[in-house]
Structure 1
Amino acid sequence: MSVFAPNGLATASVRARPSAFAGTFAALVFCATVVTASVAVAISASRVPSSPEQYAVYEMGLVFSQITVYLSIFVIGQVMSLAVSQRGRESALLRAVGAGPWQIRRMVATEALVTALLALPVGYGLGALVAWVWFGVLDAGGMLPAGMALHIGLGPLFAALGTLVVCSQLGGLIAARRSSRIRPSAALSVTQVSGAEQAGRVRGLVSLVFLAGAVVLTGVAAAGSAENAGDVIPLVLLAYLVATGVGGLWLGRLATRLAAPVLRSLGGVAGELAVAGFHARAHRLSAAITPIAMVTAFALAQFVSLAASDDIDATALFGTLLYAAFAGLIAANTLVMLTLERLREFSLLRAIGAEKHQVRAVVLAESAITALAGVGTGTAIGCAVMAPLGGKTGTPLSGLPLWAWAATLGAGAVLVWAASAAPLGRMFRVRPIDGVTRRSV
């Protein structure tokens, strides 16, 4: 049974769950877009004589490239884990009929590689467009070094290719680990309840280690110079976000416990179903919590810096929007994937008499829990970083105006609801009796 043949496992897997493939493809495209744009700006700046403007633009492109790669490895790993877990029953059936663990792992690795190669030209083209817009913003702000011209060639292409291959293969390795190791006799019973996986102690320990590392880095930066504190802020944010991603399951359950009394009292049956559904699917929903927390924390940190500046830097503003868009699209993509996998569940509800507006009410209630976990965690991270380090760098947290708080938190909540509800129209066009037997829209 070959994964490279037209009728191989990877091809059959994609045909069975096209929405999962589309979600992974979109995440890889977003990654390639930002890497291409950042590397193009850095390479273009490196080709002109050294000057303060040249150093600032080069450093900006280099730092954005590094942060994007770090975040992409982690975020794409989560997206791919979600995509593989959505096909848990198919993998269980393959194991039950004799497929070996190495075949499951090779299936996932092959699909990941092919998806990365397909995403590369799309992401490279979009990245070139973003780089061109970025260059125009720098030019309009008078921040371009003398003689700088935009060069988009093989350098950004190879950087995007390397990032996509590494991210997809690492993500595929992590995603396929559990599916390939599970015993065939236990596989089918495990997948009867979607998302009912138990949290492992190893994940909890890793999450605590990164959390402790972020706290230590914050303390060291607070005790050092202002320049060092500013350089460490992205690294501290990254450490907190990794801790959030690994411990997303516990954050989701904590948010469920906090929101449950309100949802049950105000939401009625929809609130009760949302609480039960979120608790059962907390493991998969944790994949959406991380990018939501990421965009919230990063936006707060950047808005604090912008609010403390007398002259708003066009480059910093564009960078903030670029990363907010990157994280926001990843979050929206993940939430769409999570909704699409529930075709059978929603079809069952409609088959026993639930109206469309009642299904929407359940999704709205679940979105409130997701927003509480993601936006709440991102806000906590932003405050944990900027409260001790903002004053050190001259950008105190108290300088952030009320409208910026409202815009950041409100945008996060709207993003969660809009992305979660976006596929419902398409899912409602499927007859309930047909949706019960179908695996994907």
Structure 2
Amino acid sequence: MTSGITLQALRRHRWAFLGPAATQTIAATVISGAIMAARSMDTAPLTKTQRHSLISPDVGAMNGVFIGSSVYMSILLVGVAMNLVISRQTRDIALLRAVGAMPSRIRRSVALQAAIVALPSSVLGYGLGTLAGDAWISALRSHGILPPQVTFHPDLPALPIVAGIELATSVLGSLVAAIRPARSRPARALTDSATGRPRIGGFRTLLGVLLLAGGVVLAGLISKLDAKNAGDAAFFVMLALCVGVGMLGPILLRAIVGIARPLTAALGGSGTATIAADNIAVLSRPLSGALVPLVLAIGFAIVKVSMHTTAAHLTGTADAATDVWLDYAGTGVYCVFAASAALNTLITVMAGRRRALAVTRLAGADRRRVLGIVGVEAAIVLGTALALATGVGMVTLAPMLHAQFHTWLPYMPLSYQLAGVLLAGVVVVGGMLVPAALLSRRRPIAVVMAVE
């Protein structure tokens, strides 16, 4: 029976699983590429002098940090993606509970769903990781960081490591998402699925507050470290703050909507912005899953880029080109990883709204009005992500700047800021407005009948 439930869920929500599958594939690509690149460096036939030259910059240590950070990001982002997909099955789970399915059977079913998605994604990610690792080694050689003797070699033992990480994070994320619907009474679960259940529990709120407070405290502690150790520790400050933001995401989104509601009502004229604000309040829980990777990507970019631009602005001397390239290359990988997770999450949310968009059109709104509503929603999500990411970045960055340059304020050229806003906007628009445009091409009555 468990396998039948699992296959039915995969068929019914097949498009929703594409988002987690893509996120897991990218995670597997990053982790496997980093592992195989590190292995290739360790086994390269180098002399003592050549191997000693890798210490400045310390490529080996950086690769270790890269692997560790990638694993942490994979745990976070893959868990969030699977959590969202399983949460969409609340109504189905409630119906199964109503006909006698036990909570343990529900948990086994969602775990099997997660495993079915994770394993092929791991294999595909491993294949792409061989290409990514080869490109990384070639880039390091072309910049003079690695000697010509270092060549990339695929490492098959990396596959089970990556598969284990992906399987564990995927299954864990799905099981966490299934706790409440599997244990709730069917009537309560059906009510929650119908209303969207934007309310979050006290434990989640407390955990989010503790993570934010812990991130702030840790940020203060790293101001006493040297520049290198402070830079390494900053990533974990960022993770704590971003997870805290994700835990409190529904509350933060509804608070932003409450603050902006008078402005959106004034700007909406015909009520478009007001409807968008109401939609964001209702969808605050699933949309909070996109806030974590968005804030992580934007905040991490703010920290890394601002450290170099502030140093050049205050000292008048730019950092070594090799160090800047290494930092920006690693930052780019992290940001692409996180941005892809945010994009997949937003697409998954929008795919689940196809019936709601069709009903809006049946109620009298034309296609342009519907897209206008989604556009305002995207602006609210983007503004919230930028505000939160700026706060997270400043909390992480300010102590580091004060310890190294005796200043609390970073410097970033306006062109860099505009480029960051533009790239973040591309992710949000690509995840919300583009899917809405594609979903609204069909006749609304056909969409409603198909969903039913």
* TM-score category (smaller protein): over 0.9
Equivalent residues, number: 435
Distance change (3 Å), C-alpha of 1:25 and 1:294: same
Aligned to 1:336: 347
- Mapped to 2, the partners of 1:129 and 1:395 lie a distance apart of 43
Paired with 2:24 and 2:450, the residues of 1 have a C-alpha distance of 27
Are the equivalent residues in 2 in contact too, given 1:137–1:314 (CA < 8 A)? no
Residue number in structure 2 paired with 1:272: 274
Q: Note if contact 2:75-2:169 (Cα within 8 Å) is conserved in structure 1.
A: yes
Residue equivalent to 1:406: 418
Asked if residue 376 in structure 1 is aligned to residue 387 in structure 2, the reply is yes
1:40 has 2:36 as partner: yes
Aligned-partner Cα distance in 2 for 1:424–1:127: 32
Distance in 2 (CA, whole Å) between partners of 1:141 and 1:429 is 48
CA contact (8 A) 1:304 1:395 kept: no
Q: How does 1:61-210 map to 2 (within 5 A)?
A: 61-145=63-147, 147-193=149-195, 195-210=196-211
Output the TM-score relative to the length of structure 2. Answer: 0.92
Matched residue, 2:315: none
**CA distance in 2 between partners of 1:161 and 1:290 (Å):** 23
> How big is each residue's C-alpha offset from its partner over 1:323-356, in whole Å with a ceiling of 9 and x where there is no partner?
1111111111111111111111111111122111
What amino acid does structure 2 have at the position aligned with 1:229? A
Verify the 8 A CA contact 1:39 1:159 in the aligned structure 2.
no
Shift of 1:146: 6.0
Q: Note if contact 1:35-1:69 (Cα within 8 Å) is conserved in structure 2.
A: yes
Q: Confirm or deny that 1:223 pairs with 2:218.
A: no
The alignment partner of 1:438 has SS state of helix
Cα RMSD after superposing both structures: 1.9
Residues 224/302 of structure 1: CA separation in 2 closer, same or farther (3 Å cut): closer
Amino acid across the alignment from 2:232:
D
In 2, are the aligned partners of 1:23 and 1:337 still within 8 Å (CA)?
Answer: yes
1:24 maps to what in 2?
20
Alpha-carbon distance in structure 2 between the residues aligned to 1:375 and 1:26: 24
Is residue 73–residue 170 contact of structure 1 (8 Å, CA) maintained in 2? no
Give the unaligned 5+ runs of structure 2. 312-317
Instruction: Give, in whole Å, the separation in 2 of the partners of 1:334 and 1:21.
Output: 10
Deviation at 1:391, TM superposition (A): 3.6
Equivalent residues of 1:45, 1:57 under 8 A apart: no
Q: For residues 381 and 252 of structure 1, what CA distance do their matches in structure 2 show?
A: 16
Note if 1:386 corresponds to 2:387: no
Of 362, 368, 379, the residue aligned with 1:357 is: 368
CA shift, 1:44, in A, is 1.7
Give the equivalent residue in structure 2 for 1:59: 61
My pick for the range that moved more, 293-302 or 401-410, is 401-410
Deviation at 1:144, TM superposition (A): 0.7
Distance 1:342 1:314, change over 3 A: same
Cα pair distance change 1:395/1:16, threshold 3 Å: farther
The answer to whether the aligner puts 1:419 opposite 2:415 as a matched pair is no
C-alpha separation between the residues in 2 aligned to 1:436 and 1:68? Answer: 41
Given that 1:293 and 1:377 are in contact with CA atoms closer than 8 Å, whether structure 2 keeps it comes out as yes
Alpha-carbon distance between aligned partners in 2 of 1:94 and 1:395, rounded to the nearest angstrom: 61
In structure 2, the CA distance between the partners of 1:159 and 1:315, relative to structure 1 (3 Å rule), is farther
Native 8 Å contact 2:250 2:288 kept in 1: yes
Using the size of structure 1 for normalisation, the TM-score is: 0.94
Larger mean CA deviation between 122-131 and 361-370 belongs to 122-131
Q: Which amino acid aligns with 1:252?
A: L
Other structure's SS at 2:15 match: helix
- Are the equivalent residues in 1 in contact too, given 2:306–2:411 (CA < 8 A)? yes
Identity of aligned residues (%): 33
Matched, 1:324 2:354: no
8 Å Cα contact 1:82-1:284 kept in structure 2:
yes
Letter in 1 for 2:259: L
Aligned to 2:200, the other structure's residue is in SS state coil
Match of 1:2 in 2: 2
**Aligned-partner SS, 1:19:** coil
Measured after TM superposition, the shift of residue 89 of structure 1 is 1.3
Displacement of 1:305 in angstroms is 3.0
Task: Specify which of 407, 427, 441 is matched with residue 429 of structure 1.
Answer: 441
